[in-house]
Amino acid sequence: MKGYIQKITNSAVLTIDIGILEPKMIYARIPLSTLQSQLLDGRDVPLKKIAELFALSADLPINIKITDVHVAENILDAELSTTQISMFKNWQGSLLDRLVILGTTADEVTLTLERTRLNRDVIKIESLGLFEQILICKLGTDATGLIPRIGRYMRNAQLLVFNPKKLQS
């Protein structure tokens, strides 16, 4: 099931909006312990740090698998789907930085890359959704270094960095 991260707090739960509005809003939640076991081999890492390492943020689309239903509370327990985990593993294995851009279209990203002449630093633009794009940086290009140059043209977009080298340490 595809949903969007609702919020990331200091709590031990990642809340996912799965689009169920009627008869009541229903959210899915992924416990911190599940994220730790699925993404970090069980290492004890806080949710904010996991979000930083994997470029997770509110409004990011994410694929989940429902594991339990709590009817009285209008909440579903979930975990990351195998598709989502393998996407993160592929990102990790490629050793290429990625810049996640939320809140802009692929066309706007392409125009910005041409305007800033950064298209030579980017291998590909992947779309996660209509307003969610990922820039795959060439080997040796630091995604963090692209933010100041791209950010001035995309003031309303949210820019997040996935750096696979941070996960190895």
**Is residue 9 domain-shared with residue 81, that is, in the same domain?**
yes
pLDDT digits (tens, 9 = 90+) for 151-168: 899 989 999 999 999 887
End-of-domain residue from the set 73, 91, 109: 91
pLDDT digits (tens, 9 = 90+) for 97-116: 999 999 999 999 999 999 99
Distance CA(30)–CA(124), nearest Å, equals 30
SS3 110: helix
Does the pLDDT at position 139 exceed 70? yes
End-of-domain residue from the set 47, 76, 91: 91
Does the pLDDT at position 85 exceed 80? yes
**Percent of the chain predicted with pLDDT > 90:** 75
CATH of the domain at 36: 2.40.50.140
Q: What's the pLDDT at 102?
A: 96
